Structure 1
Amino acid sequence: MSTTEDETPFDAYREDVDRPLTRLFREYAPGYLGYFSVGMVANFIARMASLIPPLILGTAIDAIFVAPNAEAFDLPLVPSAWLPTAEIAQFQFSVAAIIISFLLVAVFTWIYGVTANLFAHSVMHTVRVDSFEKMQQLDMAFFDEKQTGEVMAVLNNDTQNLEMFLDNAIMNAARLIVMVGGIAAVLFYLNWQLAFVTLFAVPAMVVFTLWFMRVVEPRYVRQRSSVGRLNTRLENAIAGMSLTKTTSSEAYEVERVSDSSMNMFERTMDVLRLSYIYRPGMELLAGVAFAATFLVGGYWLTTNTAPGPMTGTLSVGDFVIFLMLTQRIVDPLAEVSNIVDQYENAKASSERIFGLMDIPVHVDDPDEPAALEPVQGQVAYEDVSFSYEDSEVRAGSGDETAFEETVIEDISFDAEPGETVAFVGATGAGKSTVLKLLLRLYDVQDGTIRLDGHDVREIALSDLRSAVGYVSQDTFLFDGTIADNIRYGHFDATDEDVKTAAKAAQAHEFITDLAEGYDTRVGERGVKLSGGQRQRIALARTVLADPAVLILDEATSAVDTKTELLIQQSIDELTEDRTTLAIAHRLSTVKDADTILVMDDGEIVERGSHDELLAADGQYATLWSAQAGDRERAAKALMEDD
């Protein structure tokens, strides 16, 4: 499935979501049906109680004020024996009934408000947590597509839209049904002929609403997608602020954000333009119903003649009830526009939420994981090939699979416990990808990777990743204290364990020099620390994990020479009794490795020890000469290769 300019691979999963709001209730409402049920009942009682004052007033007007003793003091569904017969008693009864009805409205509206919010926010909380949990399970390939802004839109904007729908729209829809149904019943009970005049606009409103829902739905979908794209643009702009400033690209970034914001503005206006037609249209129809009731009822009352084909009489009290209840019906009918808005918004948002939920996870735990303990640390790659999956095909709903150009091809090597295998080569040769396959950040398409004889796809992910420590050149620190970041992943580690790990990573000295020591907050992404300090904390984190296999992806790339020598001493001690797979551009850091693999364009082109590779006078010897200062020889070798 290909994607249009306005779509992302993320959006493609949304297209296969069927009846998202029904699914929302089926999967998330059952645990909170108590709140929902109490809210619905309270809403019903409150709305019914709100109909009592007009009935009491109309009855009192006819029985007490207009024609005392001529009209019976009757109320629908109330036995006559319960009603007073004396005028003063009827008046007192009317006042008390009106006060009680308002109290009932207040009490049950409060109950409805509390329970409705508990229901809506509980569902929203569960949906948000489940969405985040799903995000944690997604393959790294999803995040390679840089859909972070889309995910943030799901976790924030879309769940908020659901809360508004569950809290406001559903209860307002229930209020509308109760009010229209209750008012219609009362009006037909009092005067079925005039009731037809009052309610003639309702079918027109229904047709108008169905048209609006059909036309506005795709516009809401585009509007929600534009929010995600704007979030992505803003996040990238903030994350790259340093680059923007150092390259004087502020105007360029402002223009890009402006374009994304304008796209969202245009999509939003597409929705609002329809709303500007629908909302006034609904209010106009409701107003016409009120005007028609006033016109026909007023003529009937003033002339004391039934208009047209109508028959019978109309009392002043009944006319007042009609006018009051017709006015009551105007507000809920006019509210239909907001209900539809919130419904369509929630439908688009729930499609995106379940689109995220339905993204397939390819890298997952096996059904029956192989036992890995105790971990020895033997690593074997057997004819491993890998290509990144084509995102456009992956976003499709079928089983069709396609891959981009091969990144790794026929990689084979062994690393015994305690050995160090180093990877060198030009940037983009595939070194980091090879080692990420061991962690199953991606899965191989061909070949097998084994740990202690087990295919890594047969090992539980938690066991595999606990056995393999990974220190990347792109270190990441969470906003928190230094101690928290070293302890990350091993949260029960003691303060003494943290300090021991920091010392092993040559980080203890600079940490204790800080004003708050291990309690120093590092800022978002560790911005308050230098690159070298961040890398030493990342190394300390791995030291604390004490893995059987250690991956060092240019772990000393951001430190000065002196610190590199200190860290290298710690690494030598750390790697003495464990399997180490190291990537380095500085060949001096890996010249003592047991095996050095030279990679070029996803393949191993040379392998051997440092001395063996120098003697072979190939690519490794050329790289070594360049770093050792023999630039003339290195340049000549590179020209011969070209």
Structure 2
Amino acid sequence: MSELKTLYGWMEKYKFKFIRSLFNTIAAIILTTIVPLVTSTVIDYVLKTDIYSENTVTKSQSTIISKIILSFDTSKDQLLAAGIFIIILTLLAARANYLKGKLSAQVAEGTAKSIKDKIYDHVQRLSFSYHNKVETGDLLQRCSTDIETIRQFTQVQILEIFYAVSVFIVVFVIMLMLNPFFALVGVILIPILIVYSYVFFQKVKKAYLIKDEAEATLSTSLQETLTGVRVVKAYANQEYEIKKFAEKNANFKAAHFKEVMVSAKFWATSDFICISQVLLVVLFGSFLSYKGSITLGMFQTFLSYEFMMIWPVRQLGRVITEAGRTIISIRRILEVFDETQEFELKDESLKQKPKILGNISFKNVSIEYSDEEPVLRNISFEVKKGQTVAIIGKTGSGKTSLMNALLRLIEYKEGSITIDGTELNTIDKTWLRSHIGVVMQEIFLYSKSIKDNIRIANRTVSDEIVYDVAKIASVHDVILDFEEGYDTSVGERGVTLSGGQKQRIGIARALINKHPILIFDDSLSAVDTETDLKIRAALTERAKEITTFIIAHRMSTVKDADLIIVLDEGKILQIGTHEELFNVDGLYRNFWDIQNKKEEDFINLITVGKEENIDGK
């Protein structure tokens, strides 16, 4: 019931339309149940079947419907009245069914849209750690297939449940009024069908959960393969991916087949129960009719009511199947909603919006992911506004985690981080991130034009500003060489661009706003040394008042930094300027020796060549 209450809460905006659809359902049922009474009157009196006693016929006519029809004088008029009555009832019932379907569709579509909007909004605000642990395919499954299951249940199955229960009550009451004993015979097997449906409901829930999880795994595999198709082709890994997909597909098939088998057993058994119930009505009604206890019209009425009642009740099995699936889907969506948003803070003291200039201090900061080993241990350093800080270290040493802590993508529990004297974990996250420009290690580009991708951070800037930041990122001339220039579509995830071009567009995107703090997370790794030099020179000219963090492996990129931090296994191993670190034995000196100064010699050669050209001019 808690899941259904949750669903009703999601339908809150459309509850009046939903109630109207229920009223139209009841109206359609009442109108439909009157038709057999009209038919019974025609058979028993208008057609004047004479195999019954006058007393029996009179009993069958003691309804308001029969009195209205028989108020006409001639049989012809009575038949005409009955026909018109049936036509009017049928048209009104059709109108009620139309309104029921229209209203339920509006409720279902509106509810589905509302859930999608809410879950998308919620997912956007979830923490970095959540997105690290969740599988994309599984999340897509919850946001698409599970919501579609809820939509179908809201539009169809809820009304079918209401219809089945309502038609049973209405028809059974009418049957009791006509012949109590025969009415009891007409429902004798229905309790067995209901109990069996409940047992089936418990089984189908488990089967559907297994199938849904198998489908989510399959979706994840498909999404990963399609996203990484270039890697698959580059390593000629098609056969392995085909085999891996076939295994997951086989698991999904088996889970789906098990669910189908559970349903098949129910349908076979429920059909047998329903047919047996109808057979009981036919046999018992024939016996009563033969004895003269009921009229032929009443027998026909009971048979019509039996079909009207038994098949909706039988359909409860299918509805219960969908209900089981819907409950699982609601639970899976609630699991997402139960995840705490990273912006959910009621304490206003933790939503400060101080002026951010770029003075940053780390004091004895330690950070860990969940219950794992700390990724950063006792980190301490200070950065003044306008300084450039380079961070180097082996893979997995904690470089990116250090910047994630500054962005509050991960939280620190030990130590202190301050920006311009304000404790970092008391600053509003949206405010904080709006003052930090980031060029990620992996540049993600949308399937839009180059201009639109650069403008992602600020869609209102002029074309001139877009061109300026592209020049700083040393990508302006490259873009102009494209046939459509800045209007060139980059394709899905920037597939039409090289790695270096994507990185430079990412740099331009980060520079579109004048942030007091910039972070470059190994974002120059895919550009050549000469382009690296150009970009850094342009950034130095622009970023005199900007605090800049550069994560890099290329020593020439970091050597001119005001402060160089060398990380190893989450700890600061060395800290200082290039001259200070170069003149002592340590990891920094080892990195420099490995690169063997070739890069520096090449840069000097380029610089000397440029100076000679300038002098020559």
Whether the aligned pair in 1 keeps the contact of 2:125 and 2:342 (CA below 8 Å) is: no
Instruction: Say if 1:477 and 1:485, in contact at 8 Å, map to a contact too.
Output: yes
Q: Is the 8 A contact 2:38 2:65 kept in 1?
A: no
Residue in 1 aligned with 2:335? Answer: 355
Whole-angstrom CA distance in 2 between matches of 1:366 and 1:412: 30
Deviations 1:191-232 (A, max 9, x none): 121111111111111111121122322222222222222211
- For residues 513 and 483 of structure 2, the distance between their equivalents in structure 1, rounded to whole angstroms, comes to 27
For 1:63, which of 20, 31, 45 is the aligned residue?
A: 45
**Deviation of the 1:617 alpha carbon:** 2.6
2:27 maps to what in 1? 45
State the match for 1:395 in structure 2: none
Q: Matched residue of 1:545: which SS? A: coil
Distance 2:416 2:63 in 1: 80
Partner amino acid for 1:340? Answer: I
Match of 1:338 among 301, 318, 336: 318
Give, in angstroms, the shift of residue 52 of structure 1: 2.3
Q: Which moved more, 1:449-458 or 1:67-76?
A: 67-76
Q: Tell me the secondary structure at the aligned position of residue 591 of structure 2.
A: helix
1:520 correspondence with 2:524: no
Cα distance in structure 1, aligned partners of 2:419 and 2:537: 27
Counterpart residue identity of residue 464, structure 1: L
> Which of the residues 367, 381, 404 maps onto 1:386?
367
Partner of 2:16: 34
The 5 A counterparts of 1:151-550 are 151-302=139-290, 304=291, 313-361=293-341, 364-365=344-345, 367-368=347-348, 369=350, 371-389=352-370, 403-550=371-518
What CA deviation, in whole Å up to 9, does each residue of 1:599-623 have, x standing for no partner? 1111111111111111113211111
**Displacement, 1:362?**
5.4
Counterpart of 2:15 in structure 1: which amino acid? L
Structure 2 distance, partners of 1:572, 1:365, is 38
64-73 or 594-603: bigger deviation: 64-73
Contact 1:472 1:552 in 2 (8 A): yes
CA contact (8 A) 2:193 2:314 kept: no
Query: Residue type matched to 1:320 in 2?
Result: Q
Displacement of 1:19 in angstroms is: 2.4
Alpha-carbon separation, structure 2, partners of 1:200 and 1:538: 73
Aligned-partner residue type, residue 60 of structure 1:
V
* Unpaired stretches in structure 1, ≥5 consecutive residues: 1-17, 306-312, 390-402, 632-642
Q: Alpha-carbon deviation of 1:361?
A: 3.9
Partner of 1:85: 72
What is the alpha-carbon distance in structure 1 between the residues aligned to residue 45 and residue 309 of structure 2? 25
Shift of 1:357: 0.5
Asked if structure 1 preserves the Cα contact closer than 8 Å seen for 2:165 and 2:313, the reply is no
What is the CA-CA distance between 1:540 and the residue it aligns to? 0.9
Aligned positions of 1:547-562 closer than 5 A: 547-562=515-530
Matched, 1:110 2:111: no
Deviation for aligned residue 1:233: 1.4
- TM-score, scaled relative to structure 2: 0.92
- 2:558 paired with 1:590: yes
1:323 and 1:244 map into 2 onto residues whose CA distance is 64
Residue 362 of structure 2 aligns with an amino acid whose one-letter code is Y
Equivalences for residues 561-580 of structure 1 within 5 A: 561-580=529-548
Residue 9 of structure 1 is matched in structure 2 by: none
Match of 1:424, SS state, is strand
Shift of 1:474: 0.7
Structure 1 counterpart of 2:117, one-letter code: V
What is the TM-score normalised by the length of structure 1? 0.89
Identity of aligned residues (%): 29
Question: Contact between 1:549 and 1:579, CA under 8 Å: does it hold in 2?
Answer: yes
- Contact 2:17–2:103 (CA under 8 A) maintained in structure 1: yes
- Aligned AA for 2:100? Y
Per mean C-alpha deviation after superposition, the further-off stretch among 483-492 and 109-118 is: 483-492
Which amino acid in 1 is paired with 2:260?
Answer: L
Decide whether the 8 Å contact of 1:140 with 1:442 is kept in 2.
yes
Higher mean C-alpha deviation, range 150-159 or range 618-627: 618-627
1:495 to partner: Cα distance? 2.7
Equivalenced residue count is: 592
Equivalent residues of 1:48, 1:178 under 8 A apart: no
What is the alpha-carbon distance in structure 1 between the residues aligned to residue 542 and residue 344 of structure 2?
A: 30
Encode CA deviations 1:119-174: one digit per residue, 9 max, x unaligned: 11111111111111111121111222242111101100000000011111101111
The answer to which of 118-127 and 246-255 deviates more is: 246-255
Q: What is the root-mean-square deviation of aligned Cα atoms in Å?
A: 2.0
